């Protein structure tokens, strides 16, 4: 919560907050049914290709529904303004030309030329709306795309929101779009995780940081889920959506297009930048500072080009190793925090304890600078893209912000949430609304937010540790070390890192043994020839 900002909404009590989380996280089953039906239609088409086909059509129907609703309103008010694009754009409604309206596509769904009709519709929408230039998919007329399947998909999507008034239909379409994003991420596995952060993880970040107002930033924004959840939070807690301004950057062009569409579906106006060099090498927003930063950077990236950035001004706490970008992301995010700003960052568990290539030195400097606010260890199996256990880093520029909040200088809150969450299938776990509320309320109580109640350490779950405590643990930030959880050692380093280290050791020992064998053989040969002389 911003400093001194009282909760004026009577529904914004902890109990009401929990109910909102439950409601926002619930699905009615309709989205799942739609996804299964749409997935059957893709046949042999790869999920990574098919997602653009399906999401593009859902987006097109969404903006068409919004357009028709506004058109009906104008007909009732001033029929002369019905064909004026500015009347629509002024209210953040995209102008949809006649040949791009969903009714036209639906009427031609069974035509062999449906692929070209859709491509022409997408091009017409881009031509009429500057914000969508280069964003929409336009490969529906591809020979590899079965036109019968395409027509059936148009018919299926036509059923979404049928019979609902404009705003309600838009909301249903938005929910379906969000569900499809998650569904395709699951279908694609590791590749899918590159554009999608599980919603329960995003909701933990958002509920803890409470972005009511100011600038919100994500330096690797994927499909824009952090922003969608931030807007939902403001809306559900009685705030004004216009009070937050959204900024982001993404290096994958295809994913950037997904983000633009995802935000447009939600009616969210945002400044999302793309370049293929990424936030490290071409920071599009270098001179801006942000009140809230939410990020899920790719884990343990080794080819991030760190060797070309050795003298970068962002490395205030130490130069991150060229072989791992984790501490590059943390310091990039700190660089962009406003004086009173806070950040939440998803990273691999190894970041909390790694001593490789000087990462421990950087971590120590960050602890001593008192910029680490809270550490959360997450349960495993939350992500589509990796089985590596993850954690949340919360960073703060000012841990004594006033406004009725507690002075937290010299302290770090540790939360061990590894035992939370429920398996939703054989391979994936989700955090429930109760889990999210438990984590967030603990953090809010520790910060001294009056409505959150008083804070107390809970053995096995949470501990407020002093910087001296952390120094005694050699600046390792694994929550299990502080809250008293078992199996601390196994949790400190992910299996992949331990296996790689063991393999390197074994290979080195093999090489040493081989060198020793060569030396012995050479010595024996020398002795044998010497004896024969």
Model confidence pLDDT, tens digit, residues 351-362: 999 988 999 999
Contact by Cβ (8 Å): 388, 379: no
Residue 14, pLDDT > 50, answer: no
Give the C-alpha separation, 352 to 363, whole Å. 8
For residue 223, being part of any structural domain is answered with: yes
DSSP class of residue 408?
Answer: -
Do 147 and 279 lie in one domain? The reply is no
Residue 83 shares a structural domain with residue 144:
yes
- 3-state DSSP helix/strand/coil % of the chain, to nearest 5: 50, 10, 35
Taking residues 126-130, what's their average pLDDT? Answer: 93
How far apart are the C-alpha atoms of 384 and 182, rounded to whole Å? 9
Final residue belonging to a domain, choices 157, 188, 219:
188
* pLDDT top residue among 424 and 70: 70
Q: Is the pLDDT of residue 532 over 70?
A: no
487 and 505 fall within a common domain? no
Has residue 186 got a pLDDT over 80? no
Q: Which of 166, 188, 210 is the last residue of a domain?
A: 188
In a domain, 111, yes or no: yes
Say yes or no: 354 and 479 in one domain. yes
Last residue of a domain, one of 155, 188, 221: 188
Q: Is 34 among the domain residues?
A: yes
CB 115 within 8 A of CB 142: yes
Its pTM stands at 0.77
Is residue 434 classed as helix, strand or coil in its secondary structure? helix
Residue 31 falls in which region: left (phi positive, over 0), alpha (psi -120 to 50) or beta: alpha
Establish if 533 belongs to a structural domain. no
Query: Do residues 501 and 487 share a domain?
Result: no
In this structure, the answer to whether residues 516 and 384 fall within a common structural domain is no
Higher pLDDT among residues 310 and 181, named by residue = 310
Buried b (16+ CB within 10 A) or exposed e, 242-259: eebebbbbbbbeebbbbb
Whether residues 85 and 41 share a domain: the answer is: yes
Instruction: For residue 296, name the pLDDT band (cuts at 50, 70, 90).
Output: very high
Task: Classify residue 135: in a domain, yes or no.
Answer: yes
Strand 337-348 versus strand 390-396 pairing type: antiparallel
Query: What's the CA angle centered on 136, arms 195 and 110, to 5 degrees?
Result: 115
Domain range for residue 30? 14-188
- Within this chain, do residues 181 and 239 fall inside the same structural domain, yes or no? no
255 in the same domain as 183: no
Mean pLDDT for the chain? 85
Within this chain, do residues 486 and 501 fall inside the same structural domain, yes or no?
no
- Answer yes or no: is 5 within a domain: no
Answer yes or no: do 170 and 209 share one domain. no
Beta carbons of 364 and 372 less than 8 angstroms apart: no
Q: Tell me, what's the pLDDT at 187?
A: 75
8 falls within a domain: no
User: CB-based burial of residue 23 (10 Å sphere; 0-12 exposed, 13-18 middle, 19+ buried)?
Assistant: exposed
Number of structural domains the chain divides into? 3
Are 32 and 147 found together in one domain? Answer: yes
Overall average pLDDT of the 131-160 stretch: 93
Residue 420's CB: how many other CB atoms inside 10 A? Answer: 21
Q: pLDDT: is 32 or 440 the higher one?
A: 440
Q: What's the whole-number mean pLDDT along residues 210-216?
A: 91
Residue 6 within a domain: no
Give the CATH number, domain containing residue 99: 1.20.1260.30
């Amino acid at each position: 919560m911003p400093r001194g900002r009282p909760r004026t909404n009577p529904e914004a009590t902890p109990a009401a907050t929990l109910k909102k989380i439950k409601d926002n996280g619930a699905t009615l089953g309709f989205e799942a049914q739609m996804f299964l039906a749409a997935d059957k239609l893709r046949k042999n088409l790869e999920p990574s290709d098919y997602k653009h086909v399906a999401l593009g059509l859902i987006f097109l129907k969404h903006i068409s529904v919004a357009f028709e609703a506004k058109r009906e309103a104008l007909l009732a008010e001033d029929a002369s303004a019905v064909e004026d694009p500015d009347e629509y754009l002024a209210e953040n409604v995209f102008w949809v030309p006649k040949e791009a309206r969903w009714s036209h596509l639906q009427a031609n769904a069974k035509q062999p030329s449906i692929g070209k009709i859709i491509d022409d519709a997408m091009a017409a929408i881009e031509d009429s709306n500057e914000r969508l230039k280069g964003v929409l998919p336009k490969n529906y007329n591809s020979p590899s795309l079965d036109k019968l399947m395409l027509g059936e998909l148009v018919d299926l999507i036509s059923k979404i929101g049928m019979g609902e008034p404009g705003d309600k239909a838009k909301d249903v379409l938005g929910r379906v779009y969000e569900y499809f994003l998650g569904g395709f991420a699951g279908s694609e596995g590791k590749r899918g995780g590159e554009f999608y952060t599980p919603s329960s993880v995003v909701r933990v970040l958002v509920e803890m940081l409470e972005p009511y107002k100011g600038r919100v930033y994500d330096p690797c924004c994927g499909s824009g889920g952090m922003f969608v959840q931030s807007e939902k939070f403001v809306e559900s807690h009685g705030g004004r959506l216009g009070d937050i301004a959204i900024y982001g950057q993404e290096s994958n062009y295809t994913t950037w297009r997904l983000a633009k569409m995802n935000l447009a579906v939600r009616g969210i106006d945002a400044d999302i930048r793309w370049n293929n060099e990424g936030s490290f090498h071409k920071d599009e927003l270098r001179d801006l500072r942000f009140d809230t930063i939410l990020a899920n950077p790719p884990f343990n990236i080794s080819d991030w080009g760190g060797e070309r950035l050795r003298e970068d001004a962002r490395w205030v706490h130490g130069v991150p190793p060229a072989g791992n970008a984790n501490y590059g992301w943390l310091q990039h995010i700190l660089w962009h925090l406003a004086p009173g700003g806070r950040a939440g960052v998803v990273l691999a568990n190894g970041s909390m304890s790694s001593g490789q290539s000087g990462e421990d030195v950087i971590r120590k400097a960050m602890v001593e600078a008192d910029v680490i606010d809270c550490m959360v260890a997450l349960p495993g199996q939350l992500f589509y893209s990796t089985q590596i256990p993850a954690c949340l880093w919360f960073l703060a520029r000012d841990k004594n912000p006033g406004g009725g909040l507690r002075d937290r200088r010299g302290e770090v809150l540790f939360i061990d949430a590894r035992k939370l969450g429920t398996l939703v299938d054989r391979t994936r776990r989700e955090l429930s609304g109760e889990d999210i509320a438990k984590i967030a309320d603990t953090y809010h109580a520790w910060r001294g937010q009056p409505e959150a109640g008083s804070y107390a350490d809970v053995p096995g779950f949470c501990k407020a540790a002093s910087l001296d405590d952390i120094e005694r643990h050699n600046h390792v930030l694994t929550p299990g070390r502080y809250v008293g959880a078992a199996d601390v050692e196994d949790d400190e380093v992910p299996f992949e890192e331990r296996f790689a280290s063991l393999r390197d050791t074994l290979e080195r020992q093999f090489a040493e043994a081989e060198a020793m064998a060569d030396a012995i053989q050479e010595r024996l040969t020398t002795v044998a020839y010497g004896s024969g002389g």
